[in-house]
Chains A and B, each alone.
Chain A
Amino acid sequence: MRGGARGRAGRAAGGKTDPVRARRDRGAGPPRRAGTARAATRARVAAATPAAAAALQAALAAEHAAAYGYGVAGAHMSGRRQQEALSDWNAHRSRRDQLAAMLTSQGAVPVAAAAAYQLPFPVTSAHAAVTLAAALEDGVTRAYLGVVALPDEGLRTFGALAMQDCAVRAAQWRGATVAFPGLPPGALARQSPPAAGRATPSGR
């Protein structure tokens, strides 16, 4: 069961740089809300460095993608699952607004959401929607790894706590935990000889 769940998730994200990718076509975008942006004013904001801005923008882009993806996933769910998807959707929108406010306070222009995103696989059933939700959380978790690597302690803490939220939700959707949320396999098991070009993890 456990291995099967991991296998499904692996296929869901296989060969993609992100569970959902921005699409060229422009349509009705995900709804925007700035209600929780105020909360970000309480968040500690680091000195505006290019690395910090890039990592926060990447996390914001991942949150945009997750918010879009949850809209799709939730549409294929019902009952309690749909309520949980709605709750998770709101959690990502809250983080999205928080990140946007942090970037704005640094003088950066927060990256905007795409009009639509390419899903990693067709979502035509509740089963696929649950798999997508787990994959969305995996993608956001990976994005926050970049924030955790920043020198600023406050941003590291922010990123680490966001990773925990994502990992909890991913495990709930998947019905199983993974040992190293967000970390690519290449970052582990350094005793084995590294494959050539390990800086380009195309396997994920």
Chain B
Amino acid sequence: MNGGATRRSVLAASLTAPLLAAAGCGAPAAATPPAGRPSDVTILREAIAAKNNLIGLYTAVRAVHPELASQLDPLLTDNTAHLAELNRRLIEPAHPPSPPTGRARGRSPSPAPVPGSRSAALATLRTAERSAAAAAVGQLRTVTPSLAQLLASIAACEAAHAAALAAPPAERRIR
């Protein structure tokens, strides 16, 4: 059985290890992926396109249902922060390896009409957030570790968004 000091050190490492790994996010992500796997640049482009679609959906729902603004704006703020960070990570190569089509995560560029009922509109956003989180988990499997951590964090936020959109504020565990 391990002694207390060992457990303490391991517990301390439970935080420092991922932080150190995350601190390596600034390292160049220029490693060439194995053949057949999309590069970080490709994945970032897809994630940016999908995030733009998601933000567009929020904006459309907010326009049709302004009474939802107080509920949606914090989530929209998160998504805007995601987009900014993804854009910061994207360094376009001089010669793009492929056109940014085909594997785009999320919906098609043509936006669907916003449902007229409030609950249906929220359900649309909920589904979009859930899909985004699921897509990110698929994307992060092959990218560099630092991008995998970012995508996992964004996906975790999207999952929390989906849950928040599922429950009216009064049903949550607020104090």
Whether, in the assembled complex, B146 has its beta carbon less than 8 Å from a beta carbon of chain A, the answer is yes
CB of B117, distance to nearest CB on chain A (Å): 24
Give the most central of B7, B19, B88, B174: most A CB within 10 Å.
B19
A10 at interface by CB-CB < 8 Å: no
B2-A112 in contact (CB<8A): yes
Contacts of B163 in A (CB 8 A): 168, 171-172
Contacts of B104 in A (CB 8 A): none
Q: B173 near A184 (CB under 8 angstroms)? A: no
State whether the Cβ of A120 lies closer than 8 Å to any Cβ in chain B: no
Q: Say if the beta carbon of A123 comes within 8 Å of chain B.
A: no
- Minimum CB distance partner of A198 in chain B: B23
Bitwise interface map of B from 140 to 175 toward A, beta carbon under 8 Å scored 1, else 0: 111001101111111111011101100001001111
Q: Considering the complex, which residues of chain B in the window 21-57 have a beta carbon less than 8 Å from any beta carbon of chain A?
A: 21-23, 25-26
Interface residues of B in 54-86 (CB under 8 A from A): 74-75, 77-78, 81-82, 85
Q: Is the CB of A177 within 8 A of B160?
A: yes
Q: Does A141 contact B (CB under 8 A)?
A: yes
Partner of B10 from the list A111, A139, A157, A170 (CB cut-off 8 Å) is: A111
Provided the pairs A149-B146, A167-B159, A190-B25 are in contact, do residues A17 and B4 lie with their beta carbons within 8 angstroms?
no
Tell me if A144 counts as interface (CB < 8 A to partner B). Answer: yes
In the bound complex, how far is the Cα of B15 from the Cα of A141, in angstroms? 10
Besides A144-B18, A160-B136, A164-B159, 5 new A-B residue pairs in contact (Cβ under 8 A), listed by A number: A112-B2, A148-B148, A148-B152, A173-B173, A177-B160
Question: Which residues of B pack against A, CB within 8 Å?
Answer: 1-2, 4, 6-8, 10-23, 25-26, 74-75, 77-78, 81-82, 85, 88-89, 133, 136-137, 140-142, 145-146, 148-157, 159-161, 163-164, 169, 172-175
Would you list 19 pairs from A and B whose C-beta atoms are within 8 A, ordered by A residue? Answer: A18-B11, A21-B11, A54-B17, A61-B14, A65-B14, A111-B2, A111-B7, A111-B10, A142-B19, A144-B18, A148-B148, A149-B146, A172-B172, A177-B164, A179-B157, A180-B81, A181-B156, A187-B150, A201-B23
